[in-house]
Amino acid sequence: MRATAVAPANIAFIKYWGRKDAALRIPSNASLSMNLSSCTTTTTVEFSRTIEKDSVSLGFTPLEEKRILGHIDRIRKLTGTTDRVTVATKNSFPKSAGVASSASGFAALTVAAASALGLRLSQKELTRLARLGSGSACRSIPDGFVKWEGEFAYSLYPPDYWDLRDILVIVENSAKNVSSSAGHTAAHTSPYFEKRVQEVPTRILRLESALRTKNFQNLGEVMEEDCLDMHHVMQTQNPPLYYWNDKTKELMEAVKAWRKSGLPVYFTIDAGPNVHLICEGKFEGDVLKAVKDVQNVQEVIVNKPARGAHII
């Protein structure tokens, strides 16, 4: 009645922002991501009749704890068990600074809890279940490059398909003040939300074509366009969400300058100030060298494409 799972965070090249069904976390638009090798969550779940009280390891706010135990209840209901639970979880990266800790967290939690209870679920079913905990978590279950549309997520290509890098530049590692969950709920209040929803399907096609032909420039261009579009919606919804700080903006400008000087690198940013620099593996050294010249960077994490959640 005990299992440990590890799951990667993922970076969306086309982002999930807004939901068709809030309770079921059905997204307003499809999204497409890459799993991150160096940003993982490892979670051990144990169910037992002898445990006195459900508990979650230290470091979570009461709200987060409630969300984790709510997800455990959802999984417990599938078997009818009333056994209590102990959840112990550890991240390999700073928590809640726009690194998708809810993605790796709920993916690892889902896979570990399902395994501890002996549930035999297909990968497709696991993605559906993880989605109910956190939308982006369903993309951390299949391997490599993953597409999420509607209820399920599935792998488009394995991790070794394309040697890309996500060089994650941490500019602030304190917790963010507005969770993405609250943000999704108000996304539709932006006058630009509907336009975004209409434009994403074409962007998904452009990104799929860039992946198929391994055309890095096309991938970078559509990825940056979608990131800026999502932040435009965030910044114009009510209340507005502004996740960037001065360092974020400095890095966005630097990326443009690096590209002008011939270095093929593009940025994307989630619900926080940190900047993900996407490049091909052969340019990792050059990008790292360029980042060294940026002052006051807290940490740099180099990610390769990774496999999805699995039991260890």
Residues lying near ligand DP6 in the complex (CB under 6 A): 12, 15-16, 25, 31, 100, 102-103, 134-136, 180-181, 184, 270-271
Pairing of strands 275-280, 164-170: antiparallel
Question: Which one, 133 or 283, has the nearer CB to ligand DP6?
Answer: 133
Question: Which one, 251 or 290, has the nearer CB to ligand DP6?
Answer: 251
Q: How far is the CB of 21 from ligand DP6 (least distance, A)?
A: 11
Q: How far is the CB of 86 from ligand DP6 (least distance, A)?
A: 23
Q: How far is the CB of 57 from ligand DP6 (least distance, A)?
A: 20
Query: Among positive and negative, which fits the CA dihedral 300, 111, 227, 162?
Result: positive
Name the phi and psi angles at 305, rounded to 5.
-60, 140
Question: Which one, 159 or 183, has the nearer CB to ligand DP6?
Answer: 183
How far apart are alpha carbons 223 and 16 in whole angstroms? 13
CB neighbours of residue 208 within 10 Å: 16
CB neighbours of residue 1 within 10 Å: 15
Q: How far is the CB of 189 from ligand DP6 (least distance, A)?
A: 16
How far apart are alpha carbons 70 and 10 in whole angstroms? 23
In sequence order, the β-bridge partners of residue 56 are 87
CA distances from 204 to 128, 141, 201, 235 (A): 21, 20, 5, 23
Question: Which one, 207 or 290, has the nearer CB to ligand DP6?
Answer: 207
Question: Which one, 46 or 229, has the nearer CB to ligand DP6?
Answer: 229
Q: How far is the CB of 178 from ligand DP6 (least distance, A)?
A: 11
